[in-house]
Structure 1
Amino acid sequence: MNAHQKIIKDNARTILKIITKYYGCKYSAALYVILKEHPDFPSFLSFQYILHRMGKDSFAIHTSYEELTNIPSPFIAHVITNVDLFLFITKVTAESIQTIDEKGKIESISRKDFEDMWDGNILIMDNRPGKISIPLKMKFSTIIKQIKYPMLILCVAILFAYLLILKHEGGILFYLYLTGVLGGLTASILLFVDQIDKYNVHIKKLCSATGNKNNIDCSSILDFKDAYFLGLVSWSDIGFVYFLSLLIVLLFLPFGTAQALINFLSVCSIGYVCYSLFYQKFIARKWCTLCLSVQVVFVFLFMLSICTLKMNYIYELLHLNSIIEITTIFVTVTSIYIVIKPIIATQKEHTTLKRKYNELIYDENISQYLFQQELCLTDVDKVNKISIGNPDAEICLTLIFSPICVSCIKELQKLMPILQRKANTKLDLIFLLDQKKHPESIVIASHILSGYQKNPQLFAMILKKYVDNYPISKNKILHNIKFLDEIPKYEPFINAQEKWCITHKFYTTPILFINGRKFPSYYNIKDIDFLYSYISVH
């Protein structure tokens, strides 16, 4: 087998499955979502991140093939093709290397083939068993994301089947028309996808030239002004509205009316087919496979129309009821399409921009610059704080918060799991309360402070329980009347923190600092999980 064929499709997911199986962890789709969230996915950094979440140490090195025989296996090797790909290597000899796939099957790659692909970088892992706990909420969210499109397709299919049953049409002619319209709608959907996502791999495969067919290029046809009617509306949009409207007409109106309409429109549209073929053949001198598929449907419906065309059917279209019903269907479909298409296009554009934005803000130089532009506290050590985590930690997170502030609670819900995973991190808490507007806040803050002073070692667990169960946990504290007598002894501590905040003109919560430097607004709170690999805040 060719060495390149050994590199498994969907490489990063496959490597993750191999890692989890090899080290005794249970793979789930949510685990892959965690891996993909890393800003450097797919890379050694992203695999190091997930390995750390599994409780495993790892480090990357640059080495030579001769040294690989002395390096403990297994390890992950980075290979160079047109994208980043990885191999999970279990054994190295002077002549070959052994890789393992997700099913446990071992395959060999010759030294020459491996060296042709390998860039000299490997990721070494310890041999300890792995363990990772994924929140149920994240598992559920991942399942929903996985099934939402299949579920939508299933629901549409069920609805379509139900409408066919209600139609009570058993003639073969009806199903010939239905096949033609569905074929046209399918081709129009593919053209719609091409408009929204120019880099869709499936569309690229349909539109790419193979072998000696170098005159196939959809972009040469679809991306220029001639693909637009009067330079305003693309033929792709017209085709989508056209075939979807015909499908609704075919399913909801009497077959005689639908047949007459399709026959009439098919005869009228044959001129467009001739123009499109002429344009592709003699002007653009390129063929668009998606366009040709639509034209095949038009020709099919035209031939069907010629065979079944009857003038008395055409007269049915002139009835007022038929005109109103058909016009209503076309106008409704057009209106919905005009509204929905920009939403889908904007969502796709937003996803692309978000990916590029993340690539930008996670650049080491840019992240350093963003932090340097933020406020730096020089006297944060002068105020007493609630401290969680390793007191000698290199990274100190300081959160100015209110225990009844919903935004603060949400940030703590994200920070607490990160804190548990980071041995070199501690979290300092500073209260900033609005006692005039929310007098109950002093009760909650005092209760939290009492838990810290009574048992600092278990306070992280106490705080996590409070934020995870909020607002039930808040209401439970407020109903504890006995605790009200203890509040005065905690007020000096809380008031001193408030005074410090006001001195620095901090009036809102939450406010987060990392090693005394304010956390830039360009980042999300969960980004802290990744930023340790990129920044060193001074």
Structure 2
Amino acid sequence: MILEKDFRLVANYVKSEGGKINYDEYLFQAKNHPDYPNIVSLTDTLSFFNIDNGVIHVESSDIELLPNRFVTLLKNLQNNQPQLYFIEKKGDQYFYSNDEKSVSIPKEELESRWNNIVLLVEPSEGENSATTKVKKWFWALSLLCAATFVASLLLLQQNWQIKLFFLFPILGILFSIVSLKKLFNIQNEFLDNFCDFSSATNCETVIHSKKWKLLDFVNFSDLSIVFFCSQFLGLLIFAYDYNAFFSIQNILLLTAVPVLFVSIYYQKFVEKKWCPICLIIIATIVLEIFSLGLFKTLTFYISLPSIIRFGFVFLLVSVGWFSLKNILSKQKELEEFHIKGNQFMRNYAIFKNTLLTNPIKSSSILSSGLLLGNAAAPLKITLVTSPFCKFCAETHTIIERILEKHPEQVCFNISFNFNSSQEDEKSKKLHQQLVAIYYNNGQEAFIKALHNWFENNDESKPGNIIIEEKDELRINETLNEHFKWNQENELTYTPVILINQYIFPKEYDRNNLIHFINDLSDDEDFQL
């Protein structure tokens, strides 16, 4: 049986291989898999996220042939039951982990606990390179910004105490963002463990608590972000009038003291949980107060222009933050709606009931179709298609993916919607060439030829097979039978997907078909 922590382990493994996966959505989708909590739910959900993966049988003597990182089943030392572990090889040493801690394991022990089952993932090269490129640009821009800021700070003609004060709002901004990590979609196992290191601590519970009505409008995280961002911008704007700036800060910091006590009171007596990140933010503000006292800047020299300037900064930051928060909240709601929508759309019972409401007129099977996949497979899916239909190109890509993943479970029956009495010579030649390739070279050559055609729309790509007269008669007869069968069932448009004489529901995206193949192939109602 697979545990929830195993999904985090696999998600971390995917990320270590350069893949991109959202753990919360990964777990959510897996829980809705019919085989959950079996390992099949784990691997099928990876495939749902377009992450190539496979579970293979490996003998203990072949461990060294495996890549440097993989997930495997090892016997648990306590109960001797198999359990998922992430294995990483560094040099000649092996390290394994079942949680956040990685421990060295001798090869002899690894072999003695070996269970012969290995999970490997291989993110697509395009995704890998794209992710790497984004990361490189992100870190390059971040380092450039940091270097520019440090250089500006060093060139600033002020004493070191003022320069040091810049660290406080920066720390405050960072921890304020971390406190809203779900809103910013920050996923970090260390932060999760830090926030929940004991039963008395839980950042999420405190930060999203609404036990006071006032917190429906503004919470402590909002106040901290606005406060520290205003401080940071104020330090830049008041570069030549720090006396006025620190005078304003003295008043604001002293005003903030009651808010700090309210936050501590709320955590201790109302929510009865501590938020470590909130406490760090409180400590940052306390350090600011002590630093101002230590630097002897507890003065109250204030002028009207300085109040107006800082008031403008504060209002600008407030409007900017609440606007950004509103955008991020709506984006989060859309993501959650998308996940719930996927849960509904991938419910097999609902899909089957919708599918059965739209049968075609004829109960006969197209006998002259071009079969792709396993001809003996119990699941037969008919596709009415045309090489000149742009929507058919996407459908054929979906078929290729299904055949690659389920080569033995499904057979596709291809029916061209070609009307010989109305189509031009170009269309006739292309259809004849494609059918000839199927008859002469088999289904793999046919799939490749059709793929090349959809990709390039080049008549020379499918091939230039010389068709003899007797073969031409057979090909034309096949195409005519396809068209006649389509007309009998009023299938006048393309593409049309038929599952056991039922039309694939228009309410569903065709990309969803791959997620129902296992269920359809096991369902006796769709076995021919």
TM-score by length of 1: 0.67
CA–CA distance in structure 1, aligned partners of residues 12 and 291 of structure 2: 49
Query: 2:413 maps to which residue?
Result: 428
SS at match of 1:193: coil
Alpha-carbon distance, 1:466 to partner: 3.7
Show the 5 A alignment for 1:332-347. 332-343=320-331, 345-347=332-334
CA–CA distance in structure 1, aligned partners of residues 317 and 508 of structure 2: 46
Alpha-carbon distance change, 46 to 454 in structure 1, aligned in 2, over 3 angstroms:
same
SS at match of 1:87: strand
5+ long unaligned stretches in structure 1: 1-6, 18-26, 59-71, 76-84
SS at match of 1:311: coil
Query: 1:534 maps to which residue?
Result: 519
Alpha-carbon distance change, 147 to 191 in structure 1, aligned in 2, over 3 angstroms:
farther
CA–CA distance in structure 2, aligned partners of residues 335 and 205 of structure 1: 31
CA–CA distance in structure 1, aligned partners of residues 13 and 304 of structure 2: 65
Alpha-carbon distance change, 74 to 451 in structure 1, aligned in 2, over 3 angstroms:
same
CA–CA distance in structure 2, aligned partners of residues 338 and 500 of structure 1: 55
Show the 5 A alignment for 1:361-376. 361=347, 369=353, 371-375=355-359
Show the 5 A alignment for 1:377-456. 378-382=362-366, 384-420=368-404, 422-432=407-417, 443-444=426-427, 446-456=429-439
- Superimposed CA distance per residue, residues 121-176 of structure 1 (whole angstroms, 9 cap, x where no aligned partner): x8879xxxx999x79xx322134346646743552342233234245326322333
One of 248, 268, 271 as aligned partner of 2:258? 271
One of 277, 301, 310 as aligned partner of 2:299? 310
Alpha-carbon distance, 1:288 to partner: 2.5
Alpha-carbon distance, 1:45 to partner: 2.3
Alpha-carbon distance, 1:87 to partner: 1.6
Show the 5 A alignment for 1:120-519. 138-145=124-131, 148=134, 151-152=137-138, 154-167=140-153, 168-169=155-156, 171-194=159-182, 202-208=190-196, 210=198, 214-218=199-203, 221-226=206-211, 229=214, 231-251=216-236, 254=239, 256=242, 259-306=246-293, 307-312=296-301, 314-318=303-307, 324=312, 327-343=315-331, 345-350=332-337, 352-353=339-340, 356-357=343-344, 361=347, 369=353, 371-375=355-359, 378-382=362-366, 384-420=368-404, 422-432=407-417, 443-444=426-427, 446-456=429-439, 457-468=441-452, 470-474=454-458, 494=479, 497-519=482-504
- Superimposed CA distance per residue, residues 41-97 of structure 1 (whole angstroms, 9 cap, x where no aligned partner): 87432688799x889887xxxxxxxxxxxxx9559xxxxxxxxx96247xx9xx999
CA–CA distance in structure 1, aligned partners of residues 452 and 257 of structure 2: 64
CA contact (8 A) 1:263 1:301 kept: no
5+ long unaligned stretches in structure 2: 62-70, 95-105
Aligned length: 467
CA contact (8 A) 2:250 2:300 kept: no
CA–CA distance in structure 2, aligned partners of residues 145 and 444 of structure 1: 42
TM-score by length of 2: 0.68
SS at match of 1:265: helix
CA contact (8 A) 1:228 1:234 kept: no
CA–CA distance in structure 2, aligned partners of residues 515 and 273 of structure 1: 67
Q: Which amino acid aligns with 1:396?
A: K
SS at match of 2:387: coil
- Superimposed CA distance per residue, residues 211-265 of structure 1 (whole angstroms, 9 cap, x where no aligned partner): xxx5434455334335664632233233223323433343455262654554443
Q: Which amino acid aligns with 1:271?
A: P
Indicate the percent of aligned positions where both proteins have the same amino acid.
Answer: 16
Alpha-carbon distance change, 234 to 494 in structure 1, aligned in 2, over 3 angstroms:
farther
Tell me the C-alpha RMSD between the 2 structures.
5.2
CA–CA distance in structure 2, aligned partners of residues 353 and 97 of structure 1: 33
Q: Which amino acid aligns with 1:144?
A: A
Alpha-carbon distance, 1:412 to partner: 0.7
- Superimposed CA distance per residue, residues 267-287 of structure 1 (whole angstroms, 9 cap, x where no aligned partner): 332221122223334444443
SS at match of 2:454: coil
Alpha-carbon distance, 1:406 to partner: 2.4
CA–CA distance in structure 1, aligned partners of residues 174 and 41 of structure 2: 38
Once the two structures are overlaid, the 10-residue window that deviates more, 413-422 or 96-105, is 96-105
SS at match of 1:387: strand
